[in-house]
C-alpha cells in the first residue's frame, strides 16, 4: 500500500518539507483556487506537479476534482459543465495523474459540530454531536421537519443546549458546520445557508441518484479511455442532513453506483471514518465486497454513540476494525497487482499542532501519529502474508 499525504497547496500551513519528514511517498492535492465547473488549466496542473516532484514526492491522487452544484441539482448549463469536467480529466491524464477522488454531497463536503473537542489522553478532535446538530437545524435554521431526523435524546438535549447557549456558542457552532464547505474559503451566515438549501428544495433521493447516474454516464467513458480511475467519496456523515438527501452512505448505495456505470473506471474511495460512523456499515465486509473497484483509501476511526453522535478517535482505537480493513485491502492489492494509495485521514491536534494553524482535521503531528500506526499494521500484515505463502509452499498450515 502506498503512503500518501493530503496537501492543500497554497492554502496549507503545512509545508512539503515538513510532509517529507512523515515518510509519506505520495501527495494528494488539487487546484483549490480554480472555480467549480471551470476547466483546470494544463499549465496549472503541470506547475503543481512540478512543485510536488521538486520536494521529492509524486502527485498520486487528485482530491478533489469538484462536481458543480448544478450537476447535483440537475440544473443550469450541464452540457458545458460535463465538457469542462472531461477536459480537466484529459489534462490530468496528460500529466500522468490517473486517480481522481470526488464526492456527490450537496453543498457540504462534511459536517461536524466541534472542531476541537477534548480527546482522550489529551489533544483535541473533530466531533459530531447529534444534539448540537439538532439544535442547529431546529432552533437556528427553523427546520421543524428536522424533528423526524434525530434521536429523541438528541432533540431533547439539543433544545437544552440552545436554551443555555450564548451568541458566541451559536457562532462557534455555525463556524464548525460551515467548515465543511468545499475548501472552506467562503462560508454562509444563517440566511445564506437557508438560501443555498432552498436551491435543493424538493430534490429527492431518486432525483439525486438520477443526477449522479447522468454524471457517470457523461464522464466515465472518457475516464476509461484516458486510463483514469474515478473514485467517489462516501457521505460524511452517512445520513441525510439539513434536509439534503445523501446517496453514498451504505453498501447498497455503493453497489447501485458501481452498477450505474459498470466499468472499473467508476470506483470508490473507501473512507473508513465516513462509512464507519453509520452503525450498520461493516467496513471489512465493504472493503472485500468492492475490492476490485477501490482505487483510494482514507483510513481513520470513529467512536459512535447511540443518539447518532460520533467522535474521531485515534486511528487504532474506535469502532472500526482497521486491522481487518487493511487485511482486506492487502488482499485486493495482491489480486489486482496494484499499489493502492491510502492516507491517514484526519488526525487529532496533538503537541505542537495546538500552536499552529491547520485545515480542520489536517494536523501535522496527529496525522503523523496515525500514519505511523497504520504503517505498522501494514508492515505486520504484509509480513504475515509472506509467511503464510511460505508455509503453503512448504505444506504447512497458515498462521491464524
Q: Assess whether 345 carries a catalytic annotation.
A: yes
| Run of H or E residues at 17 | helix 16-20
CA-closest candidate to residue 110, choices 280, 360, 349 = 360
Which residues contact residue 253 at a Cβ distance below 8 angstroms, ignoring those fewer than 6 apart?
Answer: 247
Is the peptide bond preceding residue 237 cis, with omega within 30 degrees of 0? yes
Within 10 Å of residue 244's Cβ, how many Cβ atoms? 18
Which residues contact residue 333 at a Cβ distance below 8 angstroms, ignoring those fewer than 6 apart?
Answer: 1, 339, 340
Catalytic residue among 68, 345, 348, 353: 345
> How is residue 140 annotated by DSSP?
I
Q: Assess whether 307 carries a catalytic annotation.
A: no
Read off the C-alpha cell for 194.
437557508
Catalytic residue among 68, 253, 295, 298: 298
Catalytic residue among 68, 295, 315, 346: 346
Catalytic residue among 271, 295, 327, 348: 271
Distance CA 85, CA 96 (A): 17
Greatest distance between any 2 Cα atoms in the chain: 70
Q: Assess whether 233 carries a catalytic annotation.
A: yes
Distance CA 137, CA 7 (A): 32
Catalytic residue among 85, 200, 233, 348: 233
Q: Assess whether 139 carries a catalytic annotation.
A: no
Q: Assess whether 271 carries a catalytic annotation.
A: yes
Q: Assess whether 151 carries a catalytic annotation.
A: no
CA-closest candidate to residue 24, choices 61, 49, 50, 64 = 61
Residues labelled as active-site residues: 233, 271, 298, 345-346, 362
Amino acid at each position: 500500500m502506498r503512503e500518501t499525504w493530503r496537501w492543500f497547496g497554497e492554502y496549507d500551513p503545512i509545508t512539503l518539507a515538513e510532509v517529507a519528514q512523515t515518510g509519506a511517498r505520495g501527495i494528494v492535492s488539487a487546484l483549490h483556487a480554480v472555480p467549480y465547473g471551470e476547466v483546470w488549466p494544463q499549465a496549472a496542473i503541470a506547475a503543481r506537479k512540478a512543485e510536488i516532484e521538486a520536494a521529492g514526492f509524486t502527485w498520486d491522487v487528485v482530491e478533489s476534482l469538484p462536481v458543480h452544484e448544478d450537476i447535483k441539482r440537475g440544473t443550469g448549463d450541464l452540457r458545458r459543465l460535463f465538457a469542462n469536467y472531461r477536459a480537466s480529466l484529459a489534462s490530468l491524464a496528460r500529466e500522468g495523474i490517473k486517480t481522481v477522488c470526488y464526492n456527490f454531497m450537496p453543498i457540504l463536503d462534511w459536517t461536524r459540530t466541534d472542531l476541537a473537542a477534548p480527546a482522550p489522553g489529551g489533544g483535541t478532535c473533530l466531533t459530531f454531536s447529534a444534539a448540537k446538530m439538532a439544535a442547529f437545524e431546529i432552533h437556528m435554521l427553523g427546520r421543524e421537519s428536522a424533528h423526524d431526523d434525530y434521536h429523541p435524546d438528541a432533540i431533547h438535549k439539543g433544545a437544552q443546549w440552545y436554551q443555555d447557549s450564548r451568541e458566541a456558542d451559536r457562532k462557534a457552532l455555525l463556524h464548525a458546520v460551515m467548515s465543511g464547505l468545499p475548501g472552506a474559503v467562503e462560508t454562509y451566515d444563517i440566511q445564506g445557508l437557508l438560501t443555498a438549501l432552498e436551491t435543493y428544495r424538493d430534490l429527492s433521493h431518486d432525483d439525486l441518484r438520477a443526477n449522479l447516474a447522468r454524471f457517470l454516464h457523461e464522464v466515465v467513458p472518457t475516464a476509461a479511455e484516458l486510463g483514469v480511475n474515478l473514485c467517489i467519496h462516501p457521505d460524511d456523515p452517512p445520513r441525510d442532513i439539513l434536509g439534503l438527501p445523501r446517496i453514498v452512505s451504505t453498501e447498497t448505495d455503493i453497489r447501485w453506483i458501481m452498477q450505474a456505470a459498470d466499468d472499473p473506471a467508476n470506483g470508490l474511495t473507501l473512507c473508513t471514518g465516513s462509512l464507519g460512523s453509520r452503525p450498520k456499515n461493516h467496513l471489512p465486509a465493504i472493503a472485500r465486497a468492492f475490492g476490485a473497484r477501490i482505487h483510494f483509501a482514507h483510513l481513520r476511526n470513529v467512536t459512535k454513540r447511540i443518539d447518532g453522535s460520533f467522535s474521531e478517535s485515534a486511528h487504532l482505537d474506535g469502532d472500526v476494525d482497521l486491522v481487518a480493513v487493511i487485511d482486506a485491502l492487502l488482499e485486493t492489492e495482491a489480486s489486482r497487482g496494484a499499489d493502492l494509495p491510502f492516507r491517514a485521514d484526519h488526525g487529532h491536534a496533538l503537541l505542537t499542532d495546538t500552536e499552529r494553524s491547520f485545515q480542520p482535521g489536517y494536523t501535522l503531528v496527529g496525522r503523523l501519529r496515525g500514519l505511523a500506526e497504520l504503517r505498522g499494521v501494514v508492515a505486520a500484515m504484509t509480513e504475515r502474508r509472506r509467511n503464510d505463502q511460505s508455509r503453503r509452499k512448504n505444506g504447512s498450515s497458515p498462521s491464524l
